């Protein structure tokens, strides 16, 4: 059965249209429903967010009020005691003025004492006292047995401070002023600060004093703050409540809740709410909590959102809340509105859907009929196209596409006629082009080296020039590969790149070094082109080459210039050639010390003139023509001689004479007097240049004028060992074999582990654990030290980030002054804010601190994250007590060299005790390192050292 294309198109388009409209409608319904759900969630979130902001704002206002009362306690106590003292002074002054002319001093003083003795203030605990400058108590408000004697002169407060000495010193210096001491509060029976104000009564040089306890003032301010908080209301039913850290309610809008202790609350619901508030806060400073509670004057419970925040200074928890039933009503109203809007949108969409369905049906039915007519026109045209060249009449075709198709069909007829005419002329042109192509082939063949190979690289054609330059005949070349002319110096990578390029159907260009049949070298500039067949498959390769041997040889000659331009002496290249050609030699390499400073200070022009002067002087000193002088790179010279002419010992003496002679000369360069000091290295063994360079560098290190490589064979072994360790360290870093071990630090008070120190280790390829003493110095010399430090920082944070224990890492001054390392540390602190609170940075000193400001800035920055700072290995090396005063440190780690012999070395014990005493006065914790036995541990514990670390307490262990 056959079907008309127009009807098939109609039914397909109609079905696709219906399906598309249905899919759009389904998506529209789904979108509307999703939008409705999203809007509901958004409304709820926005309401809760706004409520949280309002609650937080109200609590912050209340805390601001409490903070104000807290901050004014010092002002209040200062004003109160000063006012009381001035009242007593005024009373004494008035009595003095009244009776000074009629009574004796003793009588007036007795009147003053009797007037002040019985005065009480500050809830009955405040009183006056009077003292003389020599420490005698003249009057005491609560205890007469102290009067007219010196019993209180040696009296000390709870900190061991002599109270009366302090009062007398202030009186002598200022005549009046404030004094502070620590005393037992008679109300709370706790140690408290007491603030007093004194004023000298000038007529008799007596000191009048009044004082008060800070806790009493604080109690009054707390009461005042609570009274004001109770009165705070906002919105319709908002209020502030306060309870302490034990759950006791201190302030509430409804007085029935106040004064309740958590343990005595009988209402289980009330008790549960208070416990949930305290548990939710936990160790946090603030939090939000939702729970069920009844509105005032109602028994119905509803959800309530509450915000609470700690006020640490008084141990209070301040909070407020809002009922969420209002939000639920609002949300229900908004949801109803959204439902109505969604229904109307869906109804309108359905109406449009039905309209479109009807419209599409009738539209496509009409189009289908018109398409039938157009197809009939084209069917008739193709039936006649093979017989006649008749064209289609386009005026009766309605569709644009069919009309365009008809135009192109007519053009096809026209093109058919034109092609038949042109075919004959094209055949003639092909014959002419084949003739020209042969001529081009002759031209290339005459000027270039040409060869062809099959797809496997087997030579199928070689022209005469290829045979002439290579020395092979065509018979030898054809059937072989280009390996015949491949030079062994050409690297395999070149041919690998060549084959990858041409096998990917791309042209390869480059210079190749080849050899002739007789082994002579020649160079060719090559272009290799893949030839493709009609299916774009590689059929063969053609190579066109040009001989550039003359250019390459000329370039080599240019590179082999062997004279130094400045001094006209043979240069380093010439020296290397001479070393290559000759045997039994002695070579010395000289270096001008600190020549870089001449260039930096006087300029390169003066530096060049100095080099020229030194070269001229060396020429004059080398009178023996068998000693050859060379100018090497920069500030270096070399002297070469044959062993048959001079012995090694004689040559060394001559070099020493040269160094001495140059040292005695004052070189005058552009009115500048310059001195030159030389250092030299000598080698009489193969690899002369390298060995002499090593000897020269070793002479610099050992601060010697000259060193012979033969006399110092450890130079080479040290260098080789350093190179081996550098390679080991690089490989360990790349393969992540740098690990950290942790060693426990024990509290001497609790005998429990309180922190760990992170120690770097290298795991060798055979699994051996390598101490940092083997590779740390090598890391610094090979510029791997900072990468090593950053590796330790990363691994320490990865391990301790989620562990609730303090940990320490070691940083040297070089680390602290290396900005990328410190930036890396800051990134880790930002990423791990909790871990930052537990990090201890141990500053390791290898040299004295010069950049104090940078170190201090670094310490303050770390402390802003909550980190602690420790000084490592204190007591030896560059450590001194000045560091503890200049740097804001928290911990001092006493060096193990003193701790491990503290049971035998009296000096070590005395110094350790001095450090501990000094640290305690500065409130700095101390750690004893290298605690290797029970005896040592007991000694450091008895000395008052806070923490211990060592193999007796725990060996370093790898992290899991």
- Residue 711 is given by DSSP the state G
The pLDDT, as a whole number, for residue 382 is: 67
Q: What is the mean pLDDT of residues 20-25?
A: 73
Contact between 482 and 494 (Cβ < 8 Å): no
Q: How confident is the model at residue 348 (pLDDT cuts 50, 70, 90)?
A: confident
Least confident of 36-45, 216-225, 657-666, 828-837: 36-45
Residues 6+ apart with CB under 8 A from 343: none
What's this model's pTM, rounded to 2 decimal places? 0.37
Q: How confident is the model at residue 837 (pLDDT cuts 50, 70, 90)?
A: very high
Q: Quote the CA–CA distance of 906 and 791 in Å, as a whole number.
A: 41
The pLDDT, as a whole number, for residue 424 is: 63
Do the two domains 567-712 and 722-958 of this chain adopt the same fold? no
Residues 6+ apart with CB under 8 A from 731: 737, 765
Long-range contacts of residues 757-760, Cβ cutoff 8 Å, at least 24 apart: 757/807, 757/808, 757/810, 757/842, 757/949, 758/792, 758/795, 758/796, 758/807, 758/808, 758/809, 758/810, 759/956, 760/788, 760/792
- Residue 144 is given by DSSP the state G
Residues 6+ apart with CB under 8 A from 322: 51, 54, 55, 235, 238, 304, 305
Classified by CATH at the fold level, domain 219-260+273-322 comes out as: Beta-Lactamase (3.30.450)
Quick: pLDDT tens for 883-907.
677 778 999 999 888 898 899 888 8
The pLDDT, as a whole number, for residue 139 is: 93
Task: Name the residue ranges covered by the structural domains of the chain.
Answer: 219-260+273-322, 444-554, 567-712, 722-958
Quick: pLDDT tens for 483-532.
888 888 888 888 888 898 999 989 998 889 999 988 888 888 889 999 98
Quick: pLDDT tens for 528-555.
999 988 888 898 999 998 888 876 766 5
How much of the chain exceeds pLDDT 70, in percent? Answer: 85
Q: How far is CA 450 from CA 35, 125, 454, 500, in A?
A: 75, 119, 14, 21
Q: Quote the CA–CA distance of 641 and 620 in Å, as a whole number.
A: 17
Beta bridge partners of 515: 521
The pLDDT, as a whole number, for residue 443 is: 63
Long-range contacts of residues 26-35, Cβ cutoff 8 Å, at least 24 apart: 28/345, 28/346, 28/349, 29/346, 29/349, 32/342, 32/345, 32/346, 33/342, 35/342
| Structure tokens belonging to residue 462 | 């070689």
Classified by CATH at the fold level, domain 567-712 comes out as: Alpha-Beta Plaits (3.30.70)
Per-residue exposure over 446-485, b if at least 16 CB sit within 10 Å of its own CB, e if not? eebbbbbbeeeeebeebbebbbebbbbeeeebbebebebb
CB neighbourhood size of 854 (10 A):
13
**Hey, what's the torsion of the CAs at 86, 89, 90, 96, to 10 degrees?**
-170
| Structure tokens belonging to residue 574 | 């010439």
Q: Quote the CA–CA distance of 675 and 682 in Å, as a whole number.
A: 23
Q: How confident is the model at residue 4 (pLDDT cuts 50, 70, 90)?
A: low
| Structure tokens belonging to residue 826 | 């800051």
- Most confident among 404-413, 564-573, 797-806 (mean pLDDT): 797-806
Q: What is the mean pLDDT of residues 213-224?
A: 87
Q: How confident is the model at residue 777 (pLDDT cuts 50, 70, 90)?
A: confident
Per-residue exposure over 838-853, b if at least 16 CB sit within 10 Å of its own CB, e if not? bbbbbbbbeeebeeee
Q: Quote the CA–CA distance of 566 and 616 in Å, as a whole number.
A: 11
Residues 6+ apart with CB under 8 A from 751: none
Concatenated DSSP letters of 254-281: SGGGTT--GGG---HHHHHHHHHHHHHH
Concatenated DSSP letters of 220-235: HHHHHHHHHHHT-EET
* Averaged confidence pLDDT in the chain: 84
- Most confident among 561-565, 596-600, 653-657, 701-705 (mean pLDDT): 653-657
CATH of 444-554, one of 3.40.120.10, 3.60.15.10, 3.40.50.300, 3.30.450.20: 3.30.450.20
Quick: pLDDT tens for 261-281.
666 666 677 777 777 887 878
Which CATH number is associated with domain 722-958? 3.20.20.450
The pLDDT, as a whole number, for residue 585 is: 92
Question: Where is pLDDT greater, at 116 or 393?
Answer: 116
> Is the per-residue pLDDT at 687 higher than 70?
yes
Least confident of 107-111, 218-222, 255-259, 649-653: 255-259
The pLDDT, as a whole number, for residue 1 is: 45
Among candidates 709, 611, 702, which has minimal Cα distance to 662? 611
Quick: pLDDT tens for 909-920.
888 998 899 888
């Amino acid at each position: 059965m056959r079907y008309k294309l127009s009807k098939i198109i109609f039914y397909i388009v109609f079905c696709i249209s219906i399906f598309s409209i249905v899919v759009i409608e389904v998506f529209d319904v789904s979108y509307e429903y999703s939008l409705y759900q999203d809007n509901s969630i958004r409304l709820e979130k926005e309401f809760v967010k706004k409520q949280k902001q309002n609650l937080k704002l109200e609590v912050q206002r209340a805390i601001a009020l409490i903070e104000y009362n807290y901050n004014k306690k010092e002002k209040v106590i200062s004003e109160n005691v000063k006012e009381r003292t001035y009242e007593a002074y005024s009373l004494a002054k008035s009595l003095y003025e009244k009776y000074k002319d009629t009574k004796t001093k003793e009588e007036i003083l007795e009147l003053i004492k009797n007037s002040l003795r019985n005065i009480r203030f500050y809830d009955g605990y405040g009183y006056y006292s009077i003292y003389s400058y020599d420490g005698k108590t003249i009057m005491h408000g609560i205890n007469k047995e102290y009067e007219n004697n010196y019993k209180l002169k040696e009296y000390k407060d709870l900190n061991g401070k002599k109270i009366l000495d302090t009062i007398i010193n202030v009186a002598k210096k200022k005549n009046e002023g404030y004094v502070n001491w620590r005393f037992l509060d008679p109300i709370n029976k706790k140690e408290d600060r007491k603030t007093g104000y004194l004023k000298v009564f000038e007529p008799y040089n007596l000191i009048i004093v009044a004082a008060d306890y800070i806790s009493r003032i604080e109690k009054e301010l707390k009461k005042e703050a609570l009274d004001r908080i109770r009165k705070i209301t906002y919105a319709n039913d908002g209020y502030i409540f306060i309870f302490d850290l034990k759950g006791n309610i201190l302030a509430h809008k409804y007085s029935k809740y106040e004064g309740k202790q958590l343990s005595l609350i009988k209402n289980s619901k009330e008790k549960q709410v208070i416990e949930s508030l305290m548990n939710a806060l936990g160790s946090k400073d603030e939090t939000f909590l939702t729970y069920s509670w009844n509105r005032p004057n109602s028994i119905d419970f509803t959800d309530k959102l509450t915000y609470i925040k700690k006020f640490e200074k008084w141990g209070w928890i301040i909070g407020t809340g809002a009922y969420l039933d209002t939000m639920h009503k609002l949300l229900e109203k908004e949801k109803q509105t959204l439902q109505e809007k969604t229904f109307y949108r869906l109804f309108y969409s359905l109406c449009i859907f039905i309209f479109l369905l009807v419209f599409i049906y009738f539209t496509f039915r009409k189009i289908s009929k018109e398409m039938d007519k157009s197809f009939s026109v084209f069917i008739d045209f193709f039936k006649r196209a093979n017989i006649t060249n008749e064209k289609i009449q386009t005026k009766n075709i309605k569709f644009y596409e069919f009309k365009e198709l008809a135009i192109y069909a007519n053009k096809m007829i026209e093109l058919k006629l034109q092609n038949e005419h042109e075919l004959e002329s094209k055949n003639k042109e092909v014959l002419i082009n084949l003739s020209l192509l042969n001529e081009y082939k002759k031209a290339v063949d005459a000027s270039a080296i040409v060869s062809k190979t099959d797809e496997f690289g087997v030579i199928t054609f070689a022209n005469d020039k290829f045979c002439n330059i290579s020395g092979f005949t065509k018979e030898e070349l054809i059937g072989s590969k280009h390996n015949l002319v491949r030079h062994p110096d050409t690297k395999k990578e070149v041919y690998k790149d060549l084959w990858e390029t041409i096998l990917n159907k791309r042209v390869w260009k480059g210079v190749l070094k080849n050899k002739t049949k007789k082994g002579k070298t020649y160079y060719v500039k090559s272009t290799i082109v893949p030839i493709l067949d009609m299916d774009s498959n590689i059929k063969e390769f053609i190579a066109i080459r040009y001989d550039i041997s003359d250019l390459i040889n000329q370039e080599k000659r240019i590179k082999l210039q062997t004279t130094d331009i400045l001094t006209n002496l043979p240069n380093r290249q010439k020296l290397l050639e001479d070393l290559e050609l000759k045997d039994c030699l002695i070579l010395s390499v000289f270096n001008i010390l600190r020549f870089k400073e001449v260039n930096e200070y006087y300029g390169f022009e003066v530096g060049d003139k100095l080099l020229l002067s030194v070269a001229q002087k060396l020429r004059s000193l080398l009178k023996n023509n068998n000693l050859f002088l060379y100018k090497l790179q920069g500030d270096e010279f070399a002297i070469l001689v044959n062993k048959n002419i001079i012995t090694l010992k004689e040559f060394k003496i001559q070099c020493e004479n040269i160094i001495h002679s140059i040292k005695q000369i004052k070189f005058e360069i552009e009115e500048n007097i310059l001195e030159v000091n030389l250092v030299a290295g000598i080698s009489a063994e193969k690899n002369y240049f390298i060995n002499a360079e090593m000897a020269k560098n070793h002479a610099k290190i050992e601060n010697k004028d000259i060193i012979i490589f033969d006399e110092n064979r450890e130079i080479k072994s040290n260098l080789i060992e350093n190179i081996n360790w550098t390679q080991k360290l690089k490989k360990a870093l790349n393969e992540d074999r740098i690990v950290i071990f942790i060693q426990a630090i024990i509290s001497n008070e609790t005998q429990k582990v309180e922190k760990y120190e992170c120690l770097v280790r290298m795991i060798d390829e055979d699994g051996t654990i390598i101490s940092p003493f083997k590779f740390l110095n090598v890391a610094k010399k090979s510029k791997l030290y900072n990468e090593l430090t950053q590796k330790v920082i990363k691994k320490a944070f990865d391990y301790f980030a989620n562990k609730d224990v303090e940990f320490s890492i070691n940083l040297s001054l070089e680390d602290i002054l290396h900005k990328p390392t410190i930036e890396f540390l800051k990134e880790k602190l930002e990423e791990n804010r909790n871990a930052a609170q537990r990090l201890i940075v141990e500053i390791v000193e290898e040299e004295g601190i010069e950049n104090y400001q940078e170190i201090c800035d670094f310490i303050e920055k770390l402390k802003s994250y909550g980190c602690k700072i420790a000084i490592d290995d204190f007591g030896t090396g560059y450590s001194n007590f000045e560091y503890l005063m200049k740097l804001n440190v928290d911990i001092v780690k006493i060096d193990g060299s003193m701790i491990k012999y503290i049971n035998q070395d009296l000096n070590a014990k005395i110094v350790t005790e001095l450090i501990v005493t000094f640290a305690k006065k500065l409130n700095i914790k101390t750690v004893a390192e290298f605690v290797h036995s029970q005896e040592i541990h007991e000694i450091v514990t008895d000395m008052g050292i806070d923490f211990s670390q060592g193999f007796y307490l725990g060996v370093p262990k790898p992290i899991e």
